[in-house]
Amino acid sequence: MKSSHFSRRGLMRAFAATALAAAPVYGNAAGLLRGSGDVRRISMRSQRTSETIDMIYWVEGRYIDEAMTEINNFMRDWRQNEVITYDRRNIDIIAATHRLMETTEPYLMLSGYRSPATNAMLAARNRGVASNSYHIRGMAADLRLSSRSTTQMSDAAIACNAGGVGRYGRSNFVHMDCGPIRTWRR
């Protein structure tokens, strides 16, 4: 049976999470995660390489360097085998969105970081690929869940109020980035 007694630490966490809900832009994704405790987790599978990650990457207010190195490698441009430092803010947005959807199913990552050469090749094939994409900066990911619709995924990402969210219903994926707040549908 759960006790209704609140600890000082629990009350401080609740206050901090509430205060962060009013913070601008990126603060919401971090606030959603802070409200869930002192641990952040990411779980994904790469559509292209079949690699998987399922790890805690943040504990007690600190990113875990070894986990971030694995995430950077996972998010790499698989065509060029090029690794960069992927933006931590986007990992937080992805994790916060996942938590809001209350699913244990790992994301299927369609695209993470793209080198300029890969992005140019894709842009030449598809007019929907932006030449100045946040993927080139390591600030975006295209994701899918079989247990959630693109509408559910995009609504959860929009609720984070922390970056760009594109819903690609026909292609069945959602783009999430840590750039300016904006939304679109295709």
The string of pLDDT tens digits covering residues 161-170 is: 999 999 999 9
Q: Is residue 1 part of a domain?
A: no
| Boundaries of domain holding 123 | 8-185
pLDDT of 98 above 90? yes
Q: Look at residue 27 and tell me whether its pLDDT is greater than 90.
A: no
Report how many domains make up the chain.
Answer: 1
| The model's pTM | 0.79
**Is 3 part of a structural domain of the chain?**
no
- Give the tens place of pLDDT for each residue, 41-72: 999 999 999 999 999 999 989 999 999 999 99
Q: In this predicted model, what pLDDT tens digit does every residue of 117-163 receive, in sequence order? A: 999 999 889 877 887 899 999 999 999 999 999 999 999 999 999 99
Residue 180 located in a structural domain:
yes
The CATH number given to whatever domain includes residue 90 is 3.30.1380.10
The answer to whether position 2 is within a domain reads: no
Do the domain assignments include residue 29? yes
Q: For residues 139 and 89, give the distance between their C-alpha atoms in angstroms, rounded to a whole number.
A: 8
Q: What is the pLDDT of residue 157?
A: 97
The confidence score (pLDDT) of residue 131 equals 78
What percent of the chain shows pLDDT beyond 90? Answer: 72
Tokens in use for 143? 């994701």
pLDDT at 25 over 60: no
